[in-house]
Structure 1
Amino acid sequence: MPSAGQASLKIDWGPGRRDTVALQYNPTEIVLEKNVHLAEIAIPGLTAPLQQFVRGEAETLKLELFFDTSDQGMGATAVSVATLTDTIYALSRIVPDQHAPPIVTFGWGEDFPGNELPPALGNQRRTSFKGVVTNIRQTFTLWSSGGVPVRAKISLSLREYTSLKDQLEALNLASPNKTHSYVLARGDTLALVASNFYFDPTNWRPIALANGIDDPRRLKPGTELTIPSLPAS
């Protein structure tokens, strides 16, 4: 178990198989990056296109980790630093019965970045980062007299992993039983709009009827649609 103030990785190998690895040293730097995807809607007569939010992109976390066993001796008593690093380096390997690498959660106390988000964002606060490994690089920098590696650093990159259920609960997205509006972006289809608002692409007909659309294949970018509420089932 990690001690208070000690960074750790929780590894989900599959149902009922979870490990917590306390990092030997806390990282001196963590890098978080988040992008959003916007579509530009060109409307004649305006000096700039409108910006339409399309979706958020997965957040990324980058860590530089350090490991050292040289204090246990540099001769016959040397202990390989791989006893600490192999579990970390294995995070990019496929778990056979899961057909995918494990899900990893990096934590470093309750004051993890993202825990102080504004109240307007609802329950999107977090105290850790959950993701899957996209890149890992291991560098050995010191060896014992017998050729045992005793010092290493690992560069680790994680991409955000969040299930659909968790995202919908965190965002508290607008309910399909309320009326909304939406500005069409280039490439939009009524099925896509229905999927975004109703979570069901087959429910595009109520949108077509509410907006007098006779041919759903001919949609004009920049058109503001009324997204009607759906009757309770």
Structure 2
Amino acid sequence: MYVGIPNPNFIVPLDKMTIEPEGKSKFKVLYNPESYTQSRSVRYAEANGVSTNTPVVQFAGGTMEILEFRLFFDSMSAGTEVGGNLLDQAKFAANSLLPTLGKMVDVRNYTKKVYSLMEIDPDKHVPPLVKLEWSSLQFKGHLISCKQNFVRFSEHGIPLRAWLDCTFQEFVAPLKANLPRPLESPDTTKYRTVHQGDSLWSMSAKEYGQPEQWRAIANANGLANPRMLRTGSRLVLPALK
């Protein structure tokens, strides 16, 4: 009989990552990810400048944050270290004592909790919004990609072990105060006053929804150098056909 240091999970249970789909009960992962990656990016657009050797570069917007990690699932393991409720832990503990031929806990019963987060909610017609919590990690978004890799099976062909590669995309609720005003019709001539920091590129994107139409504004106002805008001057924004 083994005598030694007890499993520390009996003394201080591991803080498990929890996943909570909107409108549904949250659940814990069986094993915490070994690592996770957070990333985001910004986009810059370029257009050939008028009488210049270098293109005009304009910030075109940013992207939502991406969270990526890999989850491990193993129905052959003992139950003391896995997540889930006491019933799940007891089921895993009992299953671990059986020979491989007798192991009947299908790991897909647990992987599908994650994999199904991409299924469309019949009431809202979109996949559910998901909240992830793991200590200091607090993330709200949608599961946009999930790859299941089943790597071990029982003699009956039941999947017993799997890896899930998950990619979540951040969701930020729009604030009415920060929403851009609706684009006016591009087939109507308009006039705008130049403010500090304005550029033909940003005006074109804002008024026409097409940043590349800055040339039309430059031509309509006889601007030889589109970078030289005088604050307070009034520009005509021609109608686009």
With structure 1 as the length reference, what TM-score do the two structures score? 0.62
Structure 2: gaps spanning 5 or more residues: 1-12, 78-94, 180-194, 211-231
Number of equivalences: 171
Tell me, yes or no, if structure 1 residue 7 matches structure 2 residue 17: yes
Match of 2:207 in 1: 190
**Contact map agreement 1:40 1:185 (CA 8 A) in 2:** no
Question: Residues 178-230 of structure 1, C-alpha deviation per residue, up to 9 Å, x if partnerless?
Answer: x763222175253659xxxxxxxxxxxxxxxx642234448xxxxxxxxxxxx
Question: Residues 15-68 of structure 1, C-alpha deviation per residue, up to 9 Å, x if partnerless?
Answer: xx2321211111112122211111236555766445422211122222211011
Distance 1:105 1:168, change over 3 A: farther
In structure 1, give the amino acid aligned to 2:199.
V
Pick the structure with greater CA Rg.
Answer: 2
Match of 1:38 in 2: 44
**Contact map agreement 1:52 1:185 (CA 8 A) in 2:** yes
Q: Name which of 46, 57, 63 aligns with 2:63.
A: 57
Question: Residues 81-126 of structure 1, C-alpha deviation per residue, up to 9 Å, x if partnerless?
Answer: 122111111011111111111112222212x3xxxxxxxxxxxxxx
Paired residue secondary structure (1:190) = helix
Give runs of aligned pairs for residues 1-233 of structure 1, distance below 5 A: 5-12=15-22, 17-40=23-46, 43=49, 48-49=54-55, 51-71=57-77, 72=95, 73=98, 74-110=100-136, 112=137, 128-165=138-175, 168=178, 181-185=197-201, 187-190=204-207, 211-217=233-239
Q: CA deviation at 1:70?
A: 0.7
**Contact map agreement 1:27 1:63 (CA 8 A) in 2:** yes
**Contact map agreement 1:143 1:150 (CA 8 A) in 2:** yes
**Contact map agreement 1:4 1:109 (CA 8 A) in 2:** no
Paired residue secondary structure (2:140) = strand
**Contact map agreement 2:76 2:103 (CA 8 A) in 1:** no
Percent of aligned pairs sharing the same letter: 25
